[in-house]
Amino acid sequence: MSIKSAVVLFSGGLDSTTVLAWALREGYACYALSFDYGQRHRQELDCAREIAAAFGVVRHAVVEFDLKQFGGSALTDEIEVPKSKSAEGIGTDIPVTYVPARNTIFLSFALAWAETLQITEIFIGVNAMDYSGYPDCRPAFIHAFEQMANLATKAGVQEFKPFRIQAPLMHLGKAEIIRLGTSLGVDYGQTMSCYDPIADGRPCGQCDACWLRAKGFSEAGVVDPLASSESVITRR
């Protein structure tokens, strides 16, 4: 494929939407890849479809598989999503919202699609706020997966077309990501961050993801389009 192209892991959340906007700004023809893996917060897939269409990606693929068969996470099992945790408690331990090997699985699908498309660039939205708690968001993991990708593929071994895993948000906090996305024209009102949305689809306002999002918008000096007195609470 002669044009500049990339596969972008795309959940429909704040971070991955910012990465998609960044890749498009950098001139990539983007193939967005989302997953219906049995997650609790499936509203994000509707967001992903709407955003991908609005951004005009080349193709948006949604891969289906069921990690509920394994469980082991508050997002894929009958485990309560933590609510109203203090700021100090976020990132000190690996949380129950960690899905075992999720980014390894996601990147493996992205690698397979990229090799099929003869694309060498893969984008993922991991960042500093995540790798403080999630082991599969760390810089060391991204580097190791990139090395593995170039050992485990025909493109990397025989065709000498090395894969590159790009994580442009890796060293940014939420406020910095929001400022970047705002400068790129991202409508964060279309995104979903919540781990446990309420019945009508609004964010719960109490899980770690909601708290970190609210804190990020506050520190960025930007109003979150999703924020309301009913859906977002303030915690100390």
| Cα angle value 21/224/182 (rounded, 5°) | 30
CB 5, CB 31: distance < 8 Å: yes
- Residue 181: C-alpha distances to residues 10, 35, 147, 175, 216 (Å): 15, 22, 29, 10, 12
Specify the pTM: 0.91
| Domains contained in the chain, CATH given | 5-192 (3.40.50.620)
CA distance 173 to 220: 10
pLDDT by residue for the chain (236 residues), tens digit each?
447 999 999 999 999 999 999 999 999 999 999 999 999 878 899 999 999 999 999 999 999 999 999 999 999 998 999 886 655 556 567 889 999 999 999 999 999 999 999 999 999 999 977 766 899 999 999 999 999 999 999 998 887 789 999 999 999 999 999 999 999 999 999 999 999 988 787 899 889 899 899 999 999 999 999 885 444 333 32
